[in-house]
Structure 1
C-alpha cells in the first residue's frame, strides 16, 4: 500500500507539472522556440548527469551504454526516440508561445487513443468494440474541428503522433528510464550544444548577463522538463497501467483551463465539438479498460 501511495504521488505530480508547464514557457515568450529547445536539451543532459551521480546509477548507465554499442537495432530505436521527443518538444514550446495552448491540450487528450491505433499497427493488438468506437469518435472529433475551422489542427496531431510513436519505441527498447532520458539528450546534443553556443554569441540572445531572468529560466528548463519524466518513470514502476492511465487526463485538462482562462485563447463551437467527441471517446475507452 505504501508503494502504491508513493506511485500515486509521483504520477499526480508528473501530470500536474506537465499541465502547468505552459506557464513556464510563457515566461520565456521573448525567446525563440528553437533557442529554448537547445537550452532545454543541454541543461537536461547536465541535470541527468547529476541525477545519475546522486542516485549512484553510473554502473547501470555504463552497462546500458555498453549493451547499446553491441546492439545496433536498439541504438537506432533510441536515436529514433530522441528525434521524436525533440520534434514533440519543439512543437509544444512553439505552440505555447504562439497562442495554441488549447491545441496542445487537444493533442494530449488524443494521445491515449493514438497509442491504441499504434498498438494495432505496430504490435498487432486487437481492439474490443468499445475501444474501436472510442477511436472512431476521436477521429470524428478531429475531422469535425478541421471542417469547422477550415484547417487541420496540426499542432494537436503532431504532438499526439510523435508522443505515441515515442512511447512505442520506448516500449520496444525496455531500457532503464534514467539511462534512456540521458542518452536521448546525448544523441541530439552534438547538434544543439553548438547551436546554443552560437545563439549565445548573438546580440539578440536572451542567454546573457544582460537578461539574467531569461538566462536562469533557460538553465532551469532542463530540470523543469526532466523532473516530470523521472517522476513518470517512478510512478509507472509502482502503479498498474489502468491507474496511471486515469491520471494522464490531468495534464491536458489543466492546459485546457489555462488556455481558456489564463491565455484567453478562443474556445468556440469548433473546439467544443471536437473536445466533446474526444471526451466521450476517452470516457468509453477508460470504462472499457477498467472493465477488462
Structure 2
C-alpha cells in the first residue's frame, strides 16, 4: 500500500527541510500553551489532526487505502507501535518547552540523527563508515559530560532522541502512504485522547473553552501536528535514514537559539561543553556525508 504520488518524485529533501523548519519554531507555539496540561495539549493534537487528515485523504482519494490498513494486521501492529512512540515524544517535548527546558529538548534532537545512524546500522543494514563512528563517539562523550551536571534533564534529551528515532524507523519500514499512515496513528490514539479531553473537562486544566486564544491555539494543534509529521513521513520513505538525520540539524539549531536568546534559559559551562562536542560530532558527520556524496558522484 504505497502512495503513488510519493514514488513519482523521489527526492525527499524539500519535505524534510520544511518539516524541520516548522519543528524548529514550534517551541514558540507551545510556549503560548504553557498554562495548559501537556497531556491535554497532546490529546487536542490527536483529535484535531483526524478531521484534517480525513479531508486530505478525501482530496487525494486515499480513504480506501486508509480503511485497508485496518485489515492488515502487520501494518496495524507497526502503526500502533509508532503511534505510541510519537505520543510519548509529543508529551515529553511539550512538557520540556512549558517547563523552560528547551535546551534539553534541543539536545535530544541534536542526538537524534546519531541515533538514526545507529538504528540504520542495527535494523536496516546501513554500514557505519569510520568518520560516522568517530562522530557517534564524540557525541557520546558530550552526553557523558552532562551526567555530572544536568542529570535531571538528561532523560529528556535521551528519551526524545530514542522515541523519535524509533518512530522514524518504523514508518520507514512500514509500506503505507504518509497520510493514511499518520491518519491511522491518530485514529489509534483517539480513544485515549478523547478520554483525556473528557477528564480535563471535568477537573479543569484542559484549556479548551477557557478563552478564545487558548481554544484557537488548541484547534490549530491539528495542523501543527499533521503537516510537519506528514512531511517527515514522506521524507523518511524517500531518503536514506542517515541522510534524513543529516537534515534534522535545522530544527535543534533554531530551538537552541530560541532557548538561549529569546527565552533566556541558562547555559552552564558543562552544558556548553556538551553542545560543543555535539556540534563537533555534527561537523564530522557532515564532512563524512559530503565525502560520501562526492565519491558517489565520481
TM-score (norm. length: structure 1) = 0.89
User: 1:88 maps to which residue?
Assistant: 89
User: 1:193 maps to which residue?
Assistant: 194
Residue by residue, what CA displacement relative to the aligned partner does 1:172-217 show, whole Å, maximum 9, x if unpaired? Answer: 2122111110011111111111221231233444211x41211111
Residue by residue, what CA displacement relative to the aligned partner does 1:78-114 show, whole Å, maximum 9, x if unpaired? Answer: 1111101100000000000001101111100100101
Once residues 120 and 18 of structure 2 are traced to their aligned partners in structure 1, the CA distance between those partners, rounded to angstroms, is 27
Once residues 211 and 173 of structure 1 are traced to their aligned partners in structure 2, the CA distance between those partners, rounded to angstroms, is 41
Report whether the alignment pairs 1:220 with 2:196.
Answer: no
Paired residues of 1:11 and 1:244 also in contact (CA < 8 A): yes
Residues 235/251 of structure 1: CA separation in 2 closer, same or farther (3 Å cut) = same
Once residues 234 and 203 of structure 1 are traced to their aligned partners in structure 2, the CA distance between those partners, rounded to angstroms, is 37
Paired residues of 2:66 and 2:180 also in contact (CA < 8 A): yes
Once residues 167 and 153 of structure 2 are traced to their aligned partners in structure 1, the CA distance between those partners, rounded to angstroms, is 22
Residues 140/228 of structure 1: CA separation in 2 closer, same or farther (3 Å cut) = same
Residues 132/122 of structure 1: CA separation in 2 closer, same or farther (3 Å cut) = same
Paired residues of 2:208 and 2:215 also in contact (CA < 8 A): yes
Once residues 119 and 231 of structure 1 are traced to their aligned partners in structure 2, the CA distance between those partners, rounded to angstroms, is 20
Can you give the 5+ residue segments of structure 2 that lack an aligned partner in the other structure? 1-7, 293-298
Paired residues of 1:115 and 1:164 also in contact (CA < 8 A): yes
Residue by residue, what CA displacement relative to the aligned partner does 1:107-132 show, whole Å, maximum 9, x if unpaired? Answer: 00100101122233334543222111
Paired residues of 1:146 and 1:152 also in contact (CA < 8 A): no
Residues 250/150 of structure 1: CA separation in 2 closer, same or farther (3 Å cut) = closer
| Offset, 1:243 | 6.3
Of 18, 27, 30 in structure 2, the residue corresponding to residue 25 of structure 1 is 30
User: 1:182 maps to which residue?
Assistant: 183
Can you give the 5+ residue segments of structure 1 that lack an aligned partner in the other structure? none
Q: CA RMSD in A?
A: 2.3
TM-score (norm. length: structure 2) = 0.87
